[in-house]
Amino acid sequence: MTTANLTGAEEITWNLADLYAGMDDPQLDADLDAADAEADALDRDYRGRIAGLSAAELAALIGRFEALQERAGRIGSFASLNWTGNTQDPARGALLQRVTERGSQLGQKLVFLELELANAPDAAAAAWLADPALARYRHWLEVVRLFRPHLLSEAEEKILDEKSVTGRSAWDRFFDETHGAARYELDGEKLTRDQALNRLYAGDRELRRRAAATVTAGLKELARTNTYIFNTILADKASDDRLRKYPSWISARNLSNQVADRTVDALIGAVTSRYDIVARYYRLKRRLLGLDELFEYDRYAPLPAADRRYSWDESRRIVLDAYDQFHPRMAEVASWFFDRRWIDAPPRPGKLGGAFSHGTVPSVHPYILLNFEGRPRDVMTLAHELGHGVHQKLAGVQGALQAHTPLTTAETASVFGEMLVFQALMAQETDPQVRLGMLTSKIEDSFATAFRQISMNRFEDAIHTARRTEGELATERISELWLETQRAMFGDSVTLSEDYGLWWSYIPHFIGTPGYVYAYAFGELLVLALYARYRQAGGNFAEQYLAMLARGGSDWPHAIVTPLGVDLTDPTFWHGGLSILADLVTEAEELAAAA
């Protein structure tokens, strides 16, 4: 990185000592052994007896189980975070693999517990759920029993868990390490994938074109590897769904997200029915850029007035000020991430690409990974991940079993954080050209979160269906399905070249968490509704919002958002958020006409 590109984030690295002092910390092995010993003790004390326990006895058992999950989660979090900092370090990879294998063995010892809870008679379960002694764990019990129709015998569950270490988990890690090691040569500089992709946000069109060509060339070199990984994961998912009797490839994800199939279908149907909003916007973007034809590498081109860089300190101030305007407590918690070294910010060779907030365990705190280069979207990514971090920290009061939310509501605080920062920046800006640039950037971010994620859900639906009906898929077949689902979204507003057909192959969600992506659209449209309520209601909305975050995963998603005036069970709910996106495009058209 040249001096001109320095952001001030170059030395912003996390301190994992709150988890363990290092890879050679003897406490790590001590905790692994203690977790194993406690699992053996739970087996001795409770195997075959769970259905007959009183509510108080069951509460004591779950309390011990939760403490064990907390200990195991701490170990797994350290090994994972340590590895993401440098996926090319063999020692870090070896530790991650060792912890993964020990975690699988631990999980197998505990299979009996959740099986007995899930299979307990309905009368016993009803008595437990009605007893105040189990009030703290009520929803966790409900969710455990939700999976009863899809659980196998204990022996079968143990085999699947054992084989996952050298199956799905191994392919997931191989995918991440392969892409972490890949370098993309652009203008004589070897870049990581994320650094190359960031060039698509440059104002220089020729640079964007070269960056896109560079990424395509790199993906072509990896095409055989990526295609094999995808086929393996798709086949593994089909096998799992068949064994567990899930009716479709997405059913397990919906159940995990605690949301009904019909709700997800309503979301997907609503978004795909409004692809016209996307085409309308990109026709405007083409005119604003003065282009005869808009290619895929032009989609994120900034308008000249909004093409600027932000330092790390400036980005920190922007986000914390916006959070503080909403509620001081939100800014206070977010500030801890900076002050206490809970963030790893700069891109570097070997580091995992993208961004995330890892919730770790309630007794510690979340950690945030970024690849910060000072572009406007990096400021929004910081706001996004800090939203996750605040959510995870506040929800820690629910304990290890219920702090983590399902994916459907996990994106709520992150997208809301982005909205707070965007609105704060817009309120400070008076120049119409800059406002237009900021608005178009926000629209593109919202489209990426809502429309693009649903188009990727349609791609996942297509490849899972094709793999189950056609057998192993060639690279060209997967690329064909990718282009079909992406062109459906853009219509005639963006020209997607054949080169773009390979761009499915770097997206980790398809590998690590099949079915994840619709949760982003769920969160985006939910946040648009929540923000509209905030603008209308004011008053104690911020207090209610923070209270919602603190509930974590302790209730059904629709129940958690109900106090804020949102009805997720209404099939027409999603159209309200889509109308707000259409209104943003109208505002951009009006600003463009005035400017």
The residue extents of the domains of the chain are 16-166
- Residue closest to 518 by CA, chosen among 460, 582, 581, 568: 460
β-bridge partners, 344: 369
Q: What pLDDT is recorded for position 5?
A: 74
Looking at domain 16-166, its CATH architecture is: Up-down Bundle (1.20)
The span from the CA of 546 to the CA of 529, in Å, is 16
Quickly count: other Cβ atoms within 10 Å of residue 577's Cβ.
26
Contact assessment for residue 483 and residue 500, using Cβ atoms and an 8 Å cutoff: yes
pLDDT tens per residue across span 190-243: 999 989 999 999 999 999 999 999 999 999 999 999 999 999 999 999 999 999
- Residue closest to 381 by CA, chosen among 409, 353, 403, 359: 353
pLDDT tens per residue across span 520-559: 999 899 999 888 888 887 778 999 999 999 999 999 999 9
Q: What pLDDT is recorded for position 10?
A: 95
pLDDT tens per residue across span 124-174: 999 999 999 999 999 999 999 999 999 999 999 999 999 998 999 999 999
Helix, strand, coil share of the chain (percent; to 5): 70, 5, 25
Please give the share of the chain, as a percent, with pLDDT higher than 90: 86
pLDDT tens per residue across span 393-427: 999 999 999 999 998 888 899 999 999 999 998 88
The span from the CA of 43 to the CA of 33, in Å, is 16
Q: What is the dihedral of CA 242, 247, 251, 256, to 10 degrees?
A: -60
Across residues 342-368, what is the average pLDDT? Answer: 95
Q: What pLDDT is recorded for position 567?
A: 87
The span from the CA of 162 to the CA of 103, in Å, is 10
pLDDT band of 571, cuts 50, 70, 90: confident
Q: What pLDDT is recorded for position 3?
A: 54
β-bridge partners, 184: 191
Question: Under 8 Å CB-to-CB from 41, ≥6 apart: which residues?
Answer: none
pLDDT band of 95, cuts 50, 70, 90: very high
- pLDDT averaged over the chain? 94
Q: What pLDDT is recorded for position 537?
A: 75
